[in-house]
């Protein structure tokens, strides 16, 4: 006993019966009514949405003797019955291009189209299904007849992949009227399925029709085929459990159970949940597709607060309550992770789908422990609760000072260092407490007057700190400056890092330049009381203003002292931009004037030293030399790349040069090497 499938039995016979394709059906009906039918049409869209059906309805309307004034065919005459059922008809020919795709088939079609219709008032309609399967040669054979067809001949091409026609034969598209068919909405699918079941004498609820419509994925033919499958399995009206068991669908209750586990943060339950899925015979690929749809529903409900679409009515309140337990950002991250799992097709190709699903669900369960990058950056920028930036969204308004670097507040609150004793052997009275250092202290002060020649021991002990009974030997014995007593010392802070923001404005980061330079210099000791009024302090200045100077200027510079000061600044990194020390090591400073130092450097050095950075480097050299100096960099590719004497700098020569500079800067080390005949290693 033969039986006609539901998809064929309930195929539309009129333009008005084609669901959700009104933009195509109404246009074709109006063209038939006004005798404005084109000679070639191209129907594009997914499978099962009505492309071939509308092509047959068009052929029925053109050849129906009982056509209405609105352009609708009657659907019951002999001509309409033959065309609708796809039986033999002299004037309507359906060709499957998948099996008739060659140039010979196209030539045969072209020859048949030359014959007139069977009757004078009829049309010859050629319906070519799966048109994208035609070869380039076949399209070329049809090109001329499509451009100038015989009278009363119409071609209808139906395809699911119009881009292939664009690649194989672009001129075809300009010779056809193109109509794009849409996917059928789930609501329209449910309505059509209910109509079909009503005609069959079966009544079911939405909990039965909705899963079938969702499984059909916008295709009417697929939906009717699935319904036919369910009806073949059951007797009478099917139930929701029958639909899920036959089609292998995952019900909404399963996803509600899963997200209850995730909301309660029970990651151990994930493994038992996946195990139950497999025991009940669920397909993990189908579960994966349903998971994405359910997450989308939760996100829509959480953001919009409306009713969940595609969910049975009795479960809508439960879904809304569950959506309220998740933050929108968490649901969005879950949905993104689901999309990434099969973005490259690895889930479908994987042989371990269970592991991938378990890993995905565990990431959902541990989502509370994840922190976004924006939150980390904001926490680092706040520094303990303060806003990450100023009101303009720029730099912090009050950054904490760096390690080993004095800020204005710290300088004002810190106690001043004790004054040195003039002569502890001659005077055992305690020294008077010096006044605290003012915030507006100048960056440079004049060197203390030298002690009388008759008392060298007094001078040495006067320059030594009170906490150190044995002063270190002076770093630069030839320098009369108070800055030649050795490296800077801090009681509680390590030496400061090389400044990298000296070219910025002084109000942007940290203390002004005067305080920054004071942090890198040795502590300022109060000099022994001398007769005469003390000079008034000079306020610290910004980088863009000249520095107030009390140091001597214009004194002749000693080349040896210049080289020693240059090497000392490079060793300490004081006043140098980050990464500039290796570039300055090969340079050889020269005395170019009474207070000017010149050096040949690579061009890249000029890019690293901005105006503020060069001023900081000059300040560091001035403190080492005891007088104000200016530095001039001269760009020279060869001068900085070669050593004196024209020899190329190598790794060995650079190492030897660095060790020699180390010995020059450390007299004690040099004396030990000479006395014990030691060999210095890097």
DSSP string, 246-277: HHTPPPHHHHHHHHHHHHTT-TTHHHHHHHHH
Residue 471 has pLDDT above 80, yes or no: no
Task: Transcribe 5-19 into DSSP letters.
Answer: -HHHHT---SGGGST
End-to-end CA distance of the chain: 99
- Reported as a pLDDT band with limits 50, 70 and 90, residue 677 is low
Residue 45 has pLDDT above 90, yes or no: yes
- Reported as a pLDDT band with limits 50, 70 and 90, residue 438 is very low
Stretch(es) of the chain classified as CATH 1.20.272.10: 252-369
Rounded distance between C-alpha atoms, residue 430 and residue 424, angstroms: 9
The residue among 616 and 394 whose pLDDT is bigger is: 616
Q: Residue 554 burial (CB < 10 Å; 0-12/13-18/19+)?
A: exposed
* Dihedral sign (CA 286, 287, 293, 297): positive
CATH class of 559-665: alpha beta
- Reported as a pLDDT band with limits 50, 70 and 90, residue 614 is confident
| Reported pTM | 0.53
Rounded distance between C-alpha atoms, residue 173 and residue 498, angstroms: 69
Tell me which residue of 225, 199, 238, 200 sits closest to 5, measured CA to CA: 225
Q: What is the pLDDT of residues 520-556, one digit of tens each?
A: 444 444 444 444 444 444 333 334 434 434 445 556 7
Topology, domain 252-369: Zinc Finger, Delta Prime; domain 3 (1.20.272)
CATH placement of domain 6-180 = 3.40.50.300
Stretch(es) of the chain classified as CATH 1.10.8.60: 186-247
Question: Is 5 in contact with 225 (CB distance < 8 Å)?
Answer: yes
Q: What is the pLDDT of residues 581-607, one digit of tens each?
A: 777 888 888 888 878 898 888 877 777
Q: What is the pLDDT of residues 203-224, one digit of tens each?
A: 888 888 988 998 888 999 999 9
pLDDT for the residue 367: 80
Topology, domain 186-247: Helicase, Ruva Protein; domain 3 (1.10.8)
Helix axis angle for 78-85 and 51-63, nearest 10°, is 160
Q: Which helix (H) or strand (E) holds 355?
A: helix 353-365
Stretch(es) of the chain classified as CATH 3.30.300: 559-665
* Dihedral sign (CA 132, 134, 137, 138): negative
**Tally of CB atoms within 10 A around 569:** 20
Residue 88 has pLDDT above 60, yes or no: yes
Q: Which two tokens stand for residue 87?
A: 């039986």
Instruction: Give the chain's mean pLDDT.
Output: 74
Which residue stretches of 20-66 are H helix?
Answer: 22-33, 51-63
3-state helix, strand, coil in the chain (%, to 5): 45, 5, 50
Stretch(es) of the chain classified as CATH 3.40.50.300: 6-180
The residue among 648 and 197 whose pLDDT is bigger is: 197
């Amino acid at each position: 006993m033969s039986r006609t499938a539901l998809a064929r039995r309930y195929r539309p016979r009129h333009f008005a019966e084609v669901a959700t394709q009104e933009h195509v059906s109404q246009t074709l009906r109006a063209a038939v009514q006004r005798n404005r039918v084109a000679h070639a049409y191209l129907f594009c869209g997914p499978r099962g949405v009505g492309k071939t059906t509308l092509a047959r309805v068009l052929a029925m309307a053109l050849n129906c003797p009982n056509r209405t004034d609105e352009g609708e065919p009657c659907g019951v005459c002999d001509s309409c019955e033959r065309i609708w059922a796809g039986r033999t008809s002299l004037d309507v020919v359906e060709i499957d291009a998948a099996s008739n795709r060659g140039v010979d088939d196209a030539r045969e079609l072209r020859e048949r189209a030359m014959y007139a219709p069977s009757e004078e008032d009829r049309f010859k309609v050629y319906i070519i299904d799966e048109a994208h399967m035609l070869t380039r040669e076949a399209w070329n054979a049809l090109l001329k007849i499509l451009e100038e067809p015989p009278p009363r001949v119409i071609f209808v091409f139906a395809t699911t992949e119009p881009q292939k026609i664009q690649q194989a034969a672009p001129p075809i598209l300009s010779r056809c009227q193109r109509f794009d068919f849409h996917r059928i909405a789930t609501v329209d699918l449910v309505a059509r399925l209910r109509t079909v079941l009503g005609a069959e004498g079966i009544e079911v609820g939405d909990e039965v029709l909705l899963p079938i419509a969702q499984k059909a994925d916008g295709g009417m033919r697929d939906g009717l085929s699935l319904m036919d499958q369910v009806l073949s399995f059951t007797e009478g009206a099917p139930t929701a459990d029958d639909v899920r068991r036959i089609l292998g669908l995952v019900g909404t209750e399963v996803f509600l159970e899963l997200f209850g586990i995730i909301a309660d943060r029970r990651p151990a339950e994930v493994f038992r949940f996946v195990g139950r899925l497999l025991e009940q015979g669920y397909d993990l690929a189908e579960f994966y597709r349903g998971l994405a749809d359910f997450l989308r529903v939760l996100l829509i409900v959480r953001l919009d607060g409306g009713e969940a679409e595609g969910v049975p009515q009795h479960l809508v309140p439960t879904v809304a309550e569950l959506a309220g337990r998740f933050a929108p950002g968490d649901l969005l991250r879950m949905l993104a992770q689901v999309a990434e799992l099969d973005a490259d097709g690895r889930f479908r190709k994987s042989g371990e789908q269970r592991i991938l699903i378990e890993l995905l669900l565990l990431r959902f369960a541990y989502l509370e422990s994840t922190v976004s990058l924006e939150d980390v950056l904001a926490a680092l920028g706040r520094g303990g609760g303060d806003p990450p930036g100023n009101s303009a969204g720029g730099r912090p308004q009050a950054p904490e000072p760096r390690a080993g670097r004095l800020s204005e507040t710290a300088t004002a609150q810190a106690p001043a260092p004790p004054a040195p004793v003039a002569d502890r052997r001659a005077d055992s009275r305690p020294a008077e407490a010096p006044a605290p250092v003012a915030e507006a202290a100048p960056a440079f002060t004049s060197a203390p007057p030298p002690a009388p020649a008759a008392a060298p021991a007094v001078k040495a002990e006067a320059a030594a700190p009170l906490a150190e009974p044995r002063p270190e030997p002076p770093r630069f014995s030839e320098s009369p400056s108070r800055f030649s007593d050795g490296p800077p010392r801090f009681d509680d802070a390590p030496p400061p890092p090389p400044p990298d923001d000296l070219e910025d404005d002084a109000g942007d980061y940290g203390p002004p330049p005067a305080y920054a330079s004071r942090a890198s210099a040795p502590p300022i000791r109060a000099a022994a009381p001398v007769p005469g009024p003390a000079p008034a302090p000079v306020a610290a200045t910004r980088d863009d203003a000249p520095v107030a100077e009390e140091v001597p200027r214009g004194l002749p510079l000693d080349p040896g002292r210049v080289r020693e000061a240059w090497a000392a600044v490079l060793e300490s990194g004081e006043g140098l931009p980050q990464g500039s020390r290796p570039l300055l090591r090969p340079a050889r400073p020269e005395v170019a004037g009474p207070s000017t130092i010149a050096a040949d450097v690579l061009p890249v050095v000029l890019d690293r030293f901005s105006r503020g950075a060069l001023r900081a480097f000059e300040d560091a050299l001035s403190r080492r030399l005891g007088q104000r100096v200016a530095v001039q960099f001269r760009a020279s590719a060869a001068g900085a790349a070669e050593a004196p004497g024209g020899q190329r700098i190598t790794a060995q020569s650079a190492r030897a040069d660095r060790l020699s500079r180390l010995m020059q800067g450390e007299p004690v080390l040099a004396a030990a090497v000479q006395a014990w005949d030691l060999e210095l290693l890097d």
